[in-house]
Amino acid sequence: MLADDPGNEVFAGSSSDGRVIILRVNGASTDLLSINADGSGGLLLLASAPTPVAPDEVFKGVTSNGRVIFEREVGGFTNLYSIKADGSAAEVPLATTLADETFGGTF
């Protein structure tokens, strides 16, 4: 996605508005990015510290209406969030579960 980026980028999905979702792995860090299908408009959705996607965040999928779904562990609980693939809206909390549980399914 970025010419000067030494990390490995992996296709993660696409949204209904034509954005491509990419996981960029660079050592122990993983970022979640979004880019237009024509290569323009690159956007960092979630930046990480050395853990998945961001501190205690796990990418789960892309919905048909252009939202990126991810889990975030906070204070012993696992929360499910969504963010618009184009970055135009704030994160939206969807659900909470216990830290030892995980969300599954297809979005």
What's the rounded Cα separation, in Å, for the pair 75 and 93? 15
In degrees and rounded to multiples of 5, residue 11 shows phi and psi of -60, 130
* The pair of three-digit structure tokens given for residue 89, joined into one six-digit string: 């809206």
Residue boundaries of the structural domains of the chain: 8-98
Does residue 27 or residue 11 have the better pLDDT?
11
Q: pLDDT digits over 19-42, tens only?
A: 888 888 776 677 788 888 888 888
pTM above 0.85, yes or no: no
Helix (H, G, I), strand (E, B) or coil at 103: coil
